[in-house]
Amino acid sequence: MKALSQKRRHPLAAVALLLLGLLLTGGLYAAATSINEAQASNAADVYSASDVEEGERLFVANCATCHGINAEGSDAGPSLIGSGAAAVDFQVGTGRMPMQMSGPQAQKKPAQFNDEQTMQLSAYVASLGSGPAVPAAEYLDVEEGNIARGGELFRINCAMCHNAAAAGGALTEGKYAPGLDGVESVHIYEAMVTGPQNMPEFTDANIPPEDKRDIIAFLKNNESQSAPGGFALGSLGPVSEGLLIWTLGLALLIGSMVWLTSRSS
Amino acid sequence: MGEHGNGDPSTGAVIKAGEGRSSGYAIDNPGLPPHRPRLADADEKAAKRAERQVSALFLISIIGTVMFFVGYFAVGVTAGDLNMLRLQNTLLGVGVAFAMLGIGLGVVQWARALMPDHEVVEDRKPLRKEEDRAEAAQTVDEILDETQIKRRPLLRNTLIGAALLAPLPAVVVFRDLDRSEDFGPERMRHTLWTEGVRLVRDPTGTPIRASDLTVGSAVHAIPETLREVSGHGDRLAEKAKAVVLLIRMNPDDFEAVTPGREDWKHEGIIACSKVCTHVGCPVALYERHTHHLLCPCHQSTFDAAAEFKVTFGPAGRPLPQLPITVDDEGFLIARSDFTEPVGPTYWERG
Amino acid sequence: MSSQSLESKYTEEQYSEVDQYQPATRTGKIANYVDQRVGGTGMVREFGRKVFPDHWTFMFGEVALYSFVITVISGAFLTFWFDPSMASTRYDGAYVPLQGVEMSTAYATSLELSFDVRGGLFMRQLHHWAALMFIMAMAIHMLRVFFTGAFRKPRELNWVVGCTLLLAGLGAGFTGYSLPDEVLSGNGLRIIDGMLKAIPVVGTYISFFLFGGEFPGDEVIPRLYSLHIFIIPAVILILIAVHLFMVVTHKHTQYPGPGRTERNVVGYPIGPVYAAKAGGFFFVVFGVLALLAGTFQINALWNYGPYDPSPVQAGTQPDWYIGWFDGLLRLMPGYIGDIPLEFVLPTPWGGNSVATPVLVTFIPITALLLGLFVWPWIEAWITGDKKEHHILDRPRNVPGRTAFGMAMMIWYFVMWAAASSDLIATHFSLSFNDVLIWLRVLFFAGPILTFIITKRICLALQRKDREIVLHGNEAGVIEMLPHGEFREKHTRVSDYELYTLVSYESPEVTAARPNSRGKVGLLEKSRVTLNRTFFEDRVAPVSREEYIEALSHDDHGTAAELPAGSVGAIESKKN
């Protein structure tokens, strides 16, 4: 065990662990019946057969190198059997997949596929085994959400990684929790359900869909409002405030001091 | 530097600290440089210009104050409208800034450009004259003599005794800063967890079924009995000791189990105190694939797969593990209290 | 005993003069009115034309004073709405995302202050920015005093007063930071609680007495409040009064330069120039702070939520001046390899825990703060300099002190930077583990490297000064000599500039002095070692002989090419 923990320090170990973890989770999803199953609608109800077919074609061309020709996984990527449509929609929809480069974690970037292609890929993966589905529109309607309650849930369950103002924060070994500003409601929901990368899962048993809607409503409300006190300095708290007083604050002071003690021409 | 040398810098003048004063240097003190008149001193036009500059700054100050009033009275901030609040705050701030900077910069410019700028030399007075000091010492001696304190040691000794004791009440009177009935470090050994207490979700208070947790889930839990604690302060103090993080991992991922802890888990579900063993921040960041728990305050990292041992950072002990099981209805319950005090190390912990 | 004579040494006329004096001018009338009652004219006569040297670096103390005044003004405003009670309440104010949430009255009134009181948000931000500036200005002021040697005799005690002010400022800042009772400051308090508990024997009890029981309870905020608005500000005010009184007694120091001596003060009289500049500067400082408060958000406490021991957030940091404590806590590892540093001390009653990882952080804190207080005496002991000083040092002319000060600054900076290791990591795409490991290395290596580098830079600058004194400035003109040699023309600097470059003390390394029994003790040996690190490799100022020699070497060193006055000064010395 000691040897393992030492190897864990190796930079590639993080990636290996990540992949291992994804692989395990994927496998478990396929095997175990999870609470999400109730919500995960049968792929055949939502997606047409042609969607699945087109999705498989896209998958083979773009994803199979790492995830295997039948999405059974490989050394380079986890199995997607049982990952569900939500995971695909999140990973592909936010541009994290296909992955640009290996690193501590997949980075957000402009999406590689359009909405239709993403839907087709989701349809294909959903057809492989049951998993969390793309959320229904009613759970994304922020008008219905309770902002205050969402805030409370956010502070207990999310703020420790994503920061109280959702500005993001550091995790171990170079990983990080991204800022949530500008992330689409559907992707926030899907991230909670599927737990991408190292994020824990918040299944519907633990945070019911209505509560997730509250959290999204809280985030969207904050996004729509400007910072009341002026420039928010990245919402990073005392560090950026200290930096400002030692840069701009000090520069303004020194400027006025030098002028004040200089001789007039 | 070319052909001409720079001398030997280490053998030049030796002016020992304090000896130098103003003599013994390479050249003597040449005195103040001649005064150079400013434009405004010689040219009345320049002086007028300076005057106009200063008044313009004062006018800016007036505009700033008006701006403040506009922000205060004209900007209507309805409840919850942060955009308008921001506008108001900006107008108030920038208004006051102009009001103040206008006056400040104006007065300074007035002093720089128009008031006399001749440097003045003032002599330093020696801090105290020798004879003054002698006289003062003598006065003190005389006063002491008149009190007879040296001749009457009984007076002196009893006074010292009294003066040493007298401040003690001022210390003792603060004893009741902590009036709790269970005063003392012993109370830090117990939390609300006892056998059979259900783990409920924070903050909703709903009980947790083992089947609610999928692999990769993390739930922040508190004891169900917490809501029965009366008093805001007591409830916070109990919560501060009892907060727990519940996570479910793949059972194969667990490393060796310490003897005696075999039945502390339920399937892959494991619970630990959320209070960091370093200085007490909530260790709430869980990474599902690395099984790392991270404290955002000082980056202590704990490995959930290895009974929360420390893998990085300043924490000096693993997080205490809460023994759990499920009750008849399938809800998670505690098997007992923590088997060690939670939170930062303290002297009496032992 | 004979009865004492009732005769006064003053005459009756002197007493009655008061009633007969008829002032001529309007100002005179006011002055007379005041003087007949409280005798203020003596003070005006004394202070009205008191001379203060003028240099921009002398103004940081004023910034500190002014920002303190602004924190008092804005803080007084805040007290009218803020209620430090920890009684539980349900928020129903204007901020929508917290409506209906249960919280303490302290947090609820902080929110009310920000969202429902017009101008309240501005005043809160002004208060906070002014507090940050207050401590920053004190810190820079102290650095200025340190690097120019202004703390030397007779000002050592005033330096101590200043150090105490800095501590009081830190106390004021921390107690204020905790008052709103939100998650961020609550976790700050929790860290303090953890640090207190680590103190052997008494720590646990100190924590109990501070919190009125177990952390957090509901008594700590009112207690911090009375410290924050009453006790600490009172201490600061008294210390400021003492500090300023001593400045007046000592008269201000001045930089070396023509006309300046140890026996005089050169500058502007208080009335009108200095008073106008200093008074105007108050408004400038106020304006700068108002600008910050109006445009930059500080401590967005509505984001953090009411304090609750369960939540925490990424980027949990204290205000900048507490940062180095936090950084130290991060730097100190809990384990070396697999060996825990924490241990149980066996005692007859069972054993006591020693929280080494926390306790070790007290060492640099104590060293830096205590070192700050006693530095004037340490330096005097090392250098053996017991004389009065009113002329400041140019930092380069005291390489030992400057290098040591820079080393300590870097040491502080490493601890400070460690407090934002997580943000450094996310903003530069690094791993915070690596950032911390590098900072651990720098914690030890940084000060040493800085000492060496700074000392070399100082010596190089001194050599440059020698070069300018001996040969003048490079004129940027290449001339060809009759025999074909090219060289750059140098222009000699005026005596006024020259004097600044040569008028500094340059002590040599002093040998060990045996004590009364004729032995060199260990203490004296260490003194000599320190003395050597301070003064070895010294670059001496140009001596009179060297200067005259250099003048005579000057091919074109004729009177015509020298600035007026300089030759005269030299010639008169030759005779």
Q: Where are the domains of chain B?
A: 39-113, 186-349
Rounded to 5°, the CA angle A222-A119-A15 comes to 75
Nearest Cα residue in chain A from B41: A265
Distance from CA of B158 to the nearest CA of C (A): 31
Q: Which DSSP state fits C322?
A: G
The answer to whether residue A237 is domain-embedded is no
**Beta-ladder partners of B332:** B326
Taking 90 as the threshold, does the pLDDT of residue A80 lie above it?
no
With CB atoms and an 8 Å threshold, state whether C292 touches A244.
yes
- Structural domains counted in chain A: 2
Taking 60 as the threshold, does the pLDDT of residue B151 lie above it?
yes
Which residue among C187, C539, C544 sits closest to B10, beta carbon to beta carbon? C539
| CB contact at 8 A, A210 and A149 | no
User: Quick one: which of C159, C541, C152 has its CA closest to C385?
Assistant: C152
In C512-551, the residues whose Cβ lies within 8 Å of chain B are 537-544, 546-547, 550
Residues of chain B in contact with residue C291, where contact means CB-CB under 8 angstroms, are 93-94, 97, 101
> Do A113 and A161 lie in a common domain?
no
> Do A201 and A126 lie in a common domain?
no
Residues of chain C in contact with residue A229, where contact means CB-CB under 8 angstroms, are 121, 125, 296-298, 300
Q: Which residue has the tokens 């054993």?
A: C351
Q: Which fold has domain B186-349?
A: Rieske Iron-sulfur Protein (2.102.10)
Which contacts qualify for B230-236: CB closer than 8 Å, 24 or more apart? Answer: B231/C218, B232/C86, B232/C87, B232/C88, B232/C104, B232/C218, B233/C86, B233/C212, B233/C213, B233/C216, B233/C217, B233/C218, B233/C219, B234/C217, B236/C216, B236/C217, B236/C218, B236/C307, B236/C308, B236/C309
Q: What is the pLDDT of residue C151?
A: 95
In this complex, is the C-beta atom of B271 within 8 Å of any C-beta atom belonging to chain A? no
Taking 60 as the threshold, does the pLDDT of residue A50 lie above it?
yes
Residues of chain C in contact with residue A173, where contact means CB-CB under 8 angstroms, are 431, 433
Residues of chain C in contact with residue B279, where contact means CB-CB under 8 angstroms, are 190-191, 193-195, 198, 329, 358
Nearest Cα residue in chain A from C123: A229
| Domain stop point among A97, A112, A134 | A134
Q: What is the pLDDT of residue A28?
A: 55
With CB atoms and an 8 Å threshold, state whether C569 touches B27.
yes
The answer to whether residue A77 is domain-embedded is yes
- CB burial of C250-276 (b: ≥16 within 10 Å; e: otherwise) equals bbbbbbbbbbbbbebbbbbbbebbbbb
Taking 60 as the threshold, does the pLDDT of residue B244 lie above it?
yes
Which residue among B83, B215, B287 sits closest to A171, beta carbon to beta carbon? B287
CA distance readout (Å), B49 to B39, B53, B55, B105, B113: 10, 6, 10, 15, 10
ipTM over 0.95: no
Residues of chain A in contact with residue C301, where contact means CB-CB under 8 angstroms, are none
CA distance readout (Å), B165 to B157, B158, C241: 13, 11, 31
Which residue among C101, C128, C311 sits closest to A160, beta carbon to beta carbon? C311
Q: What is the pLDDT of residue A22?
A: 65
User: Quick one: which of A86, A114, A98 has its CA closest to A187?
Assistant: A86
Q: Which residue has the higher pLDDT, B99 or A24?
A: B99
For chain C, give every residue range classified as CATH 1.20.810.10.
51-256+275-327
Confidence grade of residue A10 (pLDDT, cut at 50, 70, 90): low
Secondary structure (3-state) at C44:
helix
Q: Which DSSP state fits C521?
A: -
By the 10 Å C-beta count (0-12 exposed, 13-18 middle, 19+ buried), A99 is classed as middle
Contacts of B59 (CB under 8 A, 6+ apart): B102
Q: pLDDT tens digit string along B35-93?
A: 888 888 888 898 999 999 999 999 999 999 999 999 999 988 887 788 899 999 999 99
With CB atoms and an 8 Å threshold, state whether A5 touches B303.
yes
| CB contact at 8 A, B273 and B243 | yes
In this complex, is the C-beta atom of A162 within 8 Å of any C-beta atom belonging to chain C? yes
With CB atoms and an 8 Å threshold, state whether C311 touches A163.
no
Q: What is the pLDDT of residue A1?
A: 45
| CB contact at 8 A, A245 and C320 | yes
Q: pLDDT tens digit string along A198-236?
A: 899 998 888 999 999 999 999 999 888 889 999 998 888
With CB atoms and an 8 Å threshold, state whether A230 touches B217.
no
With CB atoms and an 8 Å threshold, state whether B30 touches C569.
yes
Query: Number of residue pairs across B and C with CB atoms under 8 Å?
Result: 450
By the 10 Å C-beta count (0-12 exposed, 13-18 middle, 19+ buried), B78 is classed as exposed
Distance from CA of C4 to the nearest CA of A (A): 58
- CB burial of C68-79 (b: ≥16 within 10 Å; e: otherwise) equals bbbbbebbebbe
With CB atoms and an 8 Å threshold, state whether B27 touches C544.
yes
Distance from CA of B159 to the nearest CA of C (A): 29
Mean pLDDT of chain B: 89
Nearest Cα residue in chain B from C187: B281
Q: What is the pLDDT of residue C573?
A: 40
Q: Which residue has the tokens 């296909």?
A: A98
In this complex, is the C-beta atom of B103 within 8 Å of any C-beta atom belonging to chain C? yes
Mean pLDDT of B270-283: 94
Residue type for position C235: V
Residues of chain C falling short of pLDDT 50:
1, 557-575
In this complex, is the C-beta atom of A244 within 8 Å of any C-beta atom belonging to chain C? yes
* Total Cβ atoms within 10 A of residue B135: 11
With CB atoms and an 8 Å threshold, state whether C183 touches A155.
yes
The answer to whether residue A166 is domain-embedded is yes
Mean pLDDT of B5-21: 56
Extract the tokens encoding B161: 């005794």
In this complex, is the C-beta atom of B17 within 8 Å of any C-beta atom belonging to chain C? yes
Residues of chain B in contact with residue A195, where contact means CB-CB under 8 angstroms, are 216-217, 288
Q: pLDDT tens digit string along B213-237?
A: 988 999 999 999 999 998 888 999 9
Contacts of B269 (CB under 8 A, 6+ apart): B210, B213, B246, B247, B248, B324, B332
Nearest Cα residue in chain B from C112: B79
Q: What is the dihedral of CA C368, C371, C373, C374, to 10 degrees?
A: 180
Distance from CA of A229 to the nearest CA of B (A): 6
In A163-222, the residues whose Cβ lies within 8 Å of chain B are 169, 171-173, 175, 177, 195, 197-203, 205-206, 211
Q: What is the pLDDT of residue A93?
A: 87
Mean pLDDT of B126-147: 83
Q: To probe the interface with C, which of A261, A262, A263, A264 has the most C CB atoms within 10 Å?
A: A261
Extract the tokens encoding B333: 């319950």
CATH code for position A149: 1.10.760.10
Q: What is the pLDDT of residue B2?
A: 39
With CB atoms and an 8 Å threshold, state whether B30 touches C277.
no
Q: To probe the interface with B, which of A6, A37, A154, A160 has the most B CB atoms within 10 Å?
A: A160
Q: What is the pLDDT of residue B8?
A: 66
Residues of chain C in contact with residue A104, where contact means CB-CB under 8 angstroms, are 431
Neighbours of chain C (3+ CB pairs under 8 A): A, B
In this complex, is the C-beta atom of C75 within 8 Å of any C-beta atom belonging to chain B? no
> Do A49 and A163 lie in a common domain?
no
| Domain stop point among A191, A209, A225 | A225
The answer to whether residue A6 is domain-embedded is yes
**Four-residue CA torsion sign, C16, C17, C18, C19:** positive
In this complex, is the C-beta atom of C51 within 8 Å of any C-beta atom belonging to chain B? yes
Q: For residue B238, give the H/E element and its range.
A: helix B232-242
* Total Cβ atoms within 10 A of residue B147: 12
> Do A199 and A88 lie in a common domain?
no
| Domain stop point among A103, A134, A165 | A134
Domain that residue A163 falls in: 139-225
Task: Please give the radius of gyration of chain C, using alpha carbons only, rounded to the nearest integer.
Answer: 30
Rounded to 5°, the CA angle C252-C257-C263 comes to 50
Confidence grade of residue B15 (pLDDT, cut at 50, 70, 90): low
Distance from CA of B161 to the nearest CA of C (A): 26
Which residue among B20, B26, B350 sits closest to C542, beta carbon to beta carbon? B26
Which residue among A153, A200, A206 sits closest to B286, beta carbon to beta carbon? A200
CA–CA separation, A232 and C315 (whole Å): 14
Which residue among A147, A238, A253 sits closest to C320, beta carbon to beta carbon? A238
Rounded to 5°, the CA angle C387-C393-C398 comes to 95
With CB atoms and an 8 Å threshold, state whether B217 touches A36.
no
Confidence grade of residue A31 (pLDDT, cut at 50, 70, 90): very low
The CATH superfamily of C51-256+275-327 is Cytochrome Bc1 Complex; Chain C (1.20.810.10)
CA–CA separation, A106 and A66 (whole Å): 14
In this complex, is the C-beta atom of A153 within 8 Å of any C-beta atom belonging to chain B? yes
With CB atoms and an 8 Å threshold, state whether C201 touches B296.
no
Which residue among C285, C296, C315 sits closest to A236, beta carbon to beta carbon? C315
Q: How far out from the chain centre does Cα A189 lie? A: 9
Cis? peptide before C84, omega within 30° of 0: no
E strands, C181-256, where? none
Taking 60 as the threshold, does the pLDDT of residue B19 lie above it?
no
Residues of chain B in contact with residue A160, where contact means CB-CB under 8 angstroms, are 282, 284-285, 296
Cis? peptide before B203, omega within 30° of 0: yes
Q: How far out from the chain centre does Cα A204 lie? A: 17
Q: For residue B245, give the H/E element and its range.
A: strand B244-248
Distance from CA of C544 to the nearest CA of B (A): 4
In this complex, is the C-beta atom of C47 within 8 Å of any C-beta atom belonging to chain B? no
